[in-house]
Amino acid sequence: MELSIITIVLLTLYVGIGVIDQISIQAGPYTPLFAAAVTGLLLNDLPTGLVIGATLQLMTLGVATYGGATVPDFLSGAIMGTAFAILSGNGAEYGIGLAVPIGLLLTQLDVLGRMTNTFFQHRADRFADQGNVRGVEISNVLGAIPWMLSRMIPVFVGLYYGDAVVQTINSVIPVWFMTGLRAAGSILPAMGMAILMRYLPLKKYYPYYIIGFVMMAYGSSIFSILSVALVGLALAVIHVNQKNQVQTDGLMMAHQDEEVEIDG
């Protein structure tokens, strides 16, 4: 199986839209989940795309660009990993194993894109000195170009020369390595969980974490993750209500105290 040039162009356009989604409303196309699913759809193998996307998504749940930090480009990685997995017929785990190093490798291009945009900032500063409003506006819009190119170029080049790369990989890589890669693919979501746990107040609210874990570890035949979310929501509302109550009670008591003093 080979990639048609139309598919390559479509995926290249997709990654361009994806990165704009990432820096604007974050609706979904920027995530590895959507990227892998769309790639799977275009290559007539949606199930493989979904599994690769879901696993990468869970792995990167906690990896977000807080404060503009650069993170591995798993958007582009997901597209290439999924395409190569389907082309070679090696299965989803292979795609995950491939997407991760590709994403890591492309980290540098994100840095390059953000550095290039400094040029537009300087340009806008100069336009501001001249009072050129239009110039400032255009400089900002042009900033989209480095973002898009830093994703579109590697995806296009990677997919274009992909066949040759995939064949080489298949003939060179030993079986134990592939087995290991599969196991790695299935445990990598642990990272996403761990980063989230670092970010959330685990030490303060760990009981809720235990509740979620027990529901799914012991009751996975009855419960789904949506039911855990609903129970979590219920507990959250109870917590907030109780805390609100305590605050209002506290205020009331303070108020009564005041009245007593006034009366006295």
Compute the least distance from the CB of residue 3 to another protein, in Å.
22
The b/e string for 100-113 (b: 16+ C-beta within 10 A; e otherwise) is: bebbeebeebbeeb
Helix (H) or strand (E) holding 39: helix 32-42
Residue found by looking up tokens 């906690």 in the block: 62
SS in 3 state form for 77-106? HHHHHHHHHHHHCCCHHHHHHHHHHHHHHH
To the nearest 5 percent, what fractions of the chain are helix, strand and coil?
85, 0, 15
Cα 51 to Cα 21: distance, rounded to the nearest angstrom:
22
Compute the least distance from the CB of residue 232 to another protein, in Å.
3
By CB under 8 A, the residues from 93 to 112 that bind another protein are 100, 104, 107
- Which residues are CB-contacts of 149 (< 8 A; sequence separation ≥ 6)? 113
Kindly state whether residue 77 participates in binding another protein, applying the rule CB under 8 A.
no
Compute the least distance from the CB of residue 132 to another protein, in Å.
9
Given the complex with another protein, which of 13 and 178 has the nearer CB atom? 178
Given the complex with another protein, which of 5 and 252 has the nearer CB atom? 252
Kindly state whether residue 53 participates in binding another protein, applying the rule CB under 8 A.
yes
Compute the least distance from the CB of residue 239 to another protein, in Å.
6
By CB under 8 A, the residues from 157 to 216 that bind another protein are 176-177, 179-191, 193-202, 205-206, 208-216
Among 10, 137, 248, 258, binds another protein (CB under 8 A): 137
**How buried is residue 191: exposed, middle or buried, by Cβ count under 10 Å (0-12/13-18/19+)?**
middle
If we measure between CA atoms, which residue out of 93, 248, 99, 75 comes closest to residue 162?
Answer: 99
Residue found by looking up tokens 């001249």 in the block: 130
Among 44, 108, 121, 248, binds another protein (CB under 8 A): 121
Stretch that binds another protein, among 9-17, 164-172, 233-241, 249-257 (CB under 8 A): 233-241
Kindly state whether residue 14 participates in binding another protein, applying the rule CB under 8 A.
no
Given the complex with another protein, which of 163 and 169 has the nearer CB atom? 169
Stretch that binds another protein, among 127-135, 149-157, 165-173, 254-262 (CB under 8 A): 127-135
Compute the least distance from the CB of residue 226 to another protein, in Å.
6
Stretch that binds another protein, among 47-55, 83-91, 152-160, 161-169 (CB under 8 A): 47-55
Given the complex with another protein, which of 167 and 250 has the nearer CB atom? 250
Q: How far is CA 226 from CA 6, 223, 233, in A?
A: 38, 8, 10
